[in-house]
Amino acid sequence: MMRTRIKLILEYDGSRYDGWQKQGNTKNTIQGKIEQVLERMTGSPVEVRGAGRTDAGVHARGQTADFRLEGEYETAEVMDYLNRYLPEDIRALSAERVEENFHSRLLAVSKWYRYRLWTGKKKPVFERKYLYQLEQELDLQAMEQAAVLLEGCHDFRSFCSNKKMKKSTVRTVRNIQITQEGDELILDFYGDGFLYHMVRILVGTLIEVGEGKRRPEEMSEILQKKDRQAAGFTAPAEGLCLMNVEYGGRDK
């Protein structure tokens, strides 16, 4: 029988979902919703794999997923069906056929996450679900000094919430950009991969630097300690968005 593996680019508002990954105790996940629609279309179960297992409440503008369908399907047909029956807060942006050995998570070479903060008194009405409100100005120069120390290849165990993590916690953060646009502060993280809650803990730690609660130089000490208690708080989910996933030459 003919098999079709499809690579999908998605966007979603994660506000009302229990994260990307399908779980036994809830049916309210992004992966679960997509699989339900594909099963309805094909009449058989379909496993959807995502590049980033975004947490509950986290959003995506460029999540990559892939799945295999038994039989011959046109990508336009699949995308149209998904967008017709998916909830209004999940949307397929593109679909393309890929080789059978494509894996959206294992073959990803780079991910871009964005965290948005609001330092003003009240969040804009139409952006309120995507901003974490601080209501205070931060020391951007100190935050940028700290960010430089977090860039590069390090053991980020101190920035991981999974205490039972047995796999390597070494990751490469290629670049951290901090941009102020009026009352909005944007933190962009580019790296080869991120641990459980890693970006949100990095944000929380940088916020504490911006508040003057930590010195920029402490970042090196936090990395060396390899202890979650050494780093800052975990910033709330609503400010985080997976912007893009990049692949090398083996993605097709």
Question: In the predicted model, what is the mean pLDDT of residues 37-47?
Answer: 96
Range of the domain at 49: 3-106
- 184 and 119 belong to one structural domain: yes
Q: Is 77 helix (H, G, I), strand (E, B) or coil?
A: helix
Q: Residue 128: CB partners within 8 Å, gap ≥ 6?
A: none
- 156 and 224 belong to one structural domain: yes
Q: Which of 77, 106, 135 is the last residue of a domain?
A: 106
Q: Which of 106, 132, 157 is the last residue of a domain?
A: 106
| Per-residue pLDDT reduced to its tens digit, 28-38 | 999 999 999 99
Of 55, 66, 183, 251, the catalytic one is 55
Tell me the CATH number at 44: 3.30.70.580
Could you tell me where the beta strands, DSSP code E, fall in the chain? 3-12, 48-50, 59-70, 90-98, 108-118, 132-133, 152-155, 170-181, 184-191, 240-247
Catalytic residue status for 55: yes
Q: What is the mean pLDDT of the chain?
A: 95
What does the pLDDT read at residue 1?
Answer: 61
Burial string for 53-90 (b: 16+ CB within 10 Å, else e) reads bbbbbbbbebbbbbbebeeebebeebbebbeeebeeeb
- 117 and 229 belong to one structural domain: yes
Show the tokens assigned to 241: 């968005």
Question: In the predicted model, what is the mean pLDDT of residues 143-162?
Answer: 97
The answer on pLDDT for 250 being more than 70 is: no
The answer on pLDDT for 139 being more than 60 is: yes
| Per-residue pLDDT reduced to its tens digit, 180-222 | 999 999 999 999 999 999 999 999 999 999 999 999 999 999 9
Q: Which of 62, 84, 106 is the last residue of a domain?
A: 106
The answer on pLDDT for 153 being more than 50 is: yes
- 125 and 219 belong to one structural domain: yes
- 91 and 205 belong to one structural domain: no
Residue 82: which H helix or E strand, with range? helix 75-85
Entry field: residues in the chain: 252
In which residue are the tokens 């990395």 written? 223
